[in-house]
Chains A and B, each alone.
Chain A
Amino acid sequence: SQQGEEDPQALSIQEGENATMNCSYKTSINNLQWYRQNSGRGLVHLILIRSNEREKHSGRLRVTLDTSKKSSSLLITASRAADTASYFCATRSLSNFGNEKLTFGTGTRLTIIP
C-alpha cells in the first residue's frame, strides 16, 4: 500500500501562476524526494530534502518539509506549459531487510493551461 498521499489529486492552473502540491506520509524517514512523470512513463528525479532540512530550492522549485506534521510541499513558480505532468513524492526509509526503500505517493496530476 502507498504511504504517501498527495494533495490535490489534480490541479489545473494558468501558465505563469504558481503551483503548490502537498504530500503527507506516515512513518519516520531519512529523506523525501519529489519526482515528475510525463505521460505515465519513466520518472525523473527533481529534488531531495533530508529529514533535518526544512526548505530547499532548485531553480523554480521550492520544497518544504515538516517532520512534526509528516508533510512536504512542492512549489513550482512561474509555471510553464512544459510543467504539465504528474508529480510524486517518495519517502526513503530502511526496509526490514536492511536495504533502502522508496515509498511513493499517489501523485498529483498538474495541468498548465497556456
Chain B
Amino acid sequence: GAGVSQSPSNKVTEKGKDVELRCDPISGHTALYWYRQSLGQGLEFLIYFQGNSAPDKSGLPSDRFSAERTGGSVSTLTIQRTQQEDSAVYLCASSSTSGEYNEQFFGPGTRLTVL
C-alpha cells in the first residue's frame, strides 16, 4: 500500500499566478487534512475533509485559498493570485477515521515558492 502522495514536490510561481496542489490520500482513508508550514515554523491547519465535504475550513487564511475533494479520494488545494507570503510547504495528511485515536499519515509536502 502506497502512502500519501503529493504533487508537485516543488512549485515556483510568480506573484499573482494561480497554483493547484494535489494530494492523493491512502486508499480508503475518509479523513483528509491540509496544513501549511512556513519556514522554521510548526504546522498550521488549513482545512479538513470527511469524504467529499469540508466541515472545517476555519484555517484557510483568505478567500484566495480553496480546496475540493472528489470521489472521496484526491484533493486539490488552489491558491489564487498568489502572494509572497504564501511561500511555504503545504502538507496533506489522511486518516482512516476521525475518532479518538486517528493517526494521521502525512505526505512529503509541496514546497511552494512565490517570487
Additional pairs, 13, CB under 8 Å, beyond known A100-B99, A101-B56: A2-B44, A4-B42, A40-B109, A42-B109, A43-B106, A45-B104, A96-B58, A97-B56, A99-B48, A99-B55, A99-B56, A100-B102, A107-B42
Q: How far is the CA of A45 from the CA of B105 in the complex (A)?
A: 8
Closest 4 CB pairs of A and B: A104-B43, A42-B106, A104-B42, A97-B56
Interface 1/0s, chain B 92-115, versus A by CB < 8 A? 010000111111111111010000
CB contacts (< 8 Å) of B48 on chain A: these are: 95, 99, 101
Interface 1/0s, chain A 23-58, versus B by CB < 8 A? 000000011000000001111110010000000000
Total A residues in contact with B, Cβ cutoff 8 Å: 26
Q: How far is the CA of A103 from the CA of B46 in the complex (A)?
A: 11
Closest to B103 in A: A45
CB <8 Å contact, A40 and B89: yes
CB contacts (< 8 Å) of A30 on chain B: these are: 100
Chain B interface size, as a band, is: 20 to 34
Q: How far is the CA of A51 from the CA of B37 in the complex (A)?
A: 26
B62 at the interface (CB under 8 A from A): no
A102 contact from B37, B45, B58, Cβ within 8 A: B45
A95 contact from B58, B99, B102, Cβ within 8 A: B58
Question: Given that A42-B91, A43-B91 are contacting pairs, would A102 and B104 also be in contact in the complex, using a CB cutoff of 8 Å?
Answer: yes
Q: How far is the CA of A107 from the CA of B38 in the complex (A)?
A: 12
Q: How far is the CA of A106 from the CA of B44 in the complex (A)?
A: 10
List B residues 15-60 near A (Cβ within 8 Å).
33, 35, 37, 41-45, 48, 50, 55-56, 58
CB <8 Å contact, A44 and B106: yes
Q: How far is the CA of A40 from the CA of B89 in the complex (A)?
A: 8
Minimum CB–CB distance from B55 to chain A (whole Å) comes to 5
Q: How far is the CA of A44 from the CA of B103 in the complex (A)?
A: 10
CB contacts (< 8 Å) of A45 on chain B: these are: 103-105
Interface centre among A90, A100, A103, A104, by most B CB within 10 Å? A100
CB contacts (< 8 Å) of A31 on chain B: these are: 100-101
CB <8 Å contact, B45 and A101: yes
CB <8 Å contact, B45 and A40: no
